[in-house]
């Protein structure tokens, strides 16, 4: 684990010290996230306020307005970065985005504890990100099973071949390949292209990071990806609905 990730994990553990363990209700619309991504060429549009690599992106974002723009543009799902300290996010954004957009919502955080999974589902998440860098295959399988018990999808994120092996061992049904090196923050879409060929047929493949243009989408779709998670490049646009459409067209 690199220093950046270790720091976030340590701070997350502190934040969770006295956190409750809610019992969410089963999802009314089971596996809405993965179903929304079927068919290929789908955009997962992200809402985040800041990141360690980009700094401030959208201070105090108008979650409802952004989510509505994404829906008008044709996004298939919305990603919400909920980590509060380094990304300035909030779990409260999940329900706010879902109500306005009518789209399934992915919760992105640094999940190290079962309580985060339960809290995310209680907040209304249709899918929750699991970092393969933080879990072995058995731990991934257990987390996926817990989420699926409630009709919630797991998006298992990998950065390299070793992490992909963990995701496959954990029987992940949705795998995201992040082209950003968390040690250097350098982005290289070739990372996604190389790993895509090792993901079995029938597994939903999501490309993450570094996606800015329709050409990027076309390149990654040719590599076998079904969906594309796009954040910063959309958030910085004046007309986000048009920006989503431009990616798909």
Nearest to 177 by CA among 209, 144, 135, 207: 207
Is 42 among the catalytic positions?
Answer: no
* Residue among 42, 83, 126, 157 flagged as catalytic: 157
CA distances (Å), 240 to each of 54, 134, 193, 235, 237, in order? 19, 33, 27, 7, 6
Which one of the listed residues 51, 119, 178, 179 is annotated catalytic? 178
The residue from 69, 83, 193, 208 that is catalytic is 208
Which among 199, 205, 175, 172 has a CA at the least distance from the CA of 38? 205
Annotated catalytic residue 108: yes
Q: Is 149 a catalytic residue?
A: no
Of 34, 42, 46, 179, catalytic: 46
Please pick, among 108, 119, 126, 163, the residue that the annotation labels catalytic: 108
CB-neighbour burial class of residue 39 (10 A; exposed 0-12, middle 13-18, buried 19+): exposed
Annotation says 157 is catalytic: yes
Taking the CB of residue 203, how many other CB atoms lie within 10 A of it? 16
Helix/strand/coil for 7? helix
Whether 103 and 127 have beta carbons less than 8 Å apart is answered as: no
> Which is catalytic among the residues 34, 42, 48, 101?
48
The DSSP secondary structure of 161-223, one letter per residue, reads HHHHHHHHHTT-SEEEEE-B-TTT--B-HHHHHHHHTTSPTTSEEEEES---SHHHHHHHHHT
* Helices and strands, counts by H and E, the chain: 11, 10
Active site residue 209: yes
Confirm whether 212 is a catalytic residue.
Answer: no
Closest by CA position to 94, among listed 83, 109, 79, 73: 79
Catalytic sites, residue numbers: 46, 48, 108, 157, 178, 208-209
């Amino acid at each position: 684990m690199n220093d950046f990730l270790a720091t976030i994990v340590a701070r997350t553990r502190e934040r969770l010290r006295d956190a409750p363990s809610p019992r969410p209700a089963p999802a009314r619309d089971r596996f809405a996230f993965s179903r929304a991504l079927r068919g290929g060429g789908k955009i997962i549009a992200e809402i985040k306020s800041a990141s360690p690599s980009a700094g401030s992106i959208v201070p105090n974002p108008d979650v409802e307005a952004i989510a509505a723009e994404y829906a008008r543009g044709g996004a298939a799902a919305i990603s919400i970065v909920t980590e509060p300290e380094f990304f300035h996010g909030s779990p409260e954004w999940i329900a706010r985005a879902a109500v306005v957009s009518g789209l399934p919502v992915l919760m992105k955080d640094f999940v190290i504890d079962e309580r985060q999974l339960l809290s995310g589902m209680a907040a209304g998440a249709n899918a929750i990100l699991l970092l393969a860098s933080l879990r072995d295959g058995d731990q991934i399988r257990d987390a996926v099973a817990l989420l699926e018990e409630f009709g919630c999808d797991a998006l298992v994120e990998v950065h390299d071949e070793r992490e992909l092996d963990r995701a496959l061992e954990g029987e992940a049904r949705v795998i995201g390949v992040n082209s950003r090196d968390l040690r250097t923050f350098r982005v290289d879409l070739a990372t996604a292209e190389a790993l895509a060929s090792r993901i079995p047929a029938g597994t939903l493949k999501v490309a993450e990071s570094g996606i800015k243009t329709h050409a990027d989408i076309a390149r990654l779709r040719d590599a076998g990806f079904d969906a594309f998670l796009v954040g910063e490049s959309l958030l910085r646009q004046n007309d986000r609905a048009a920006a989503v459409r431009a990616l798909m067209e």
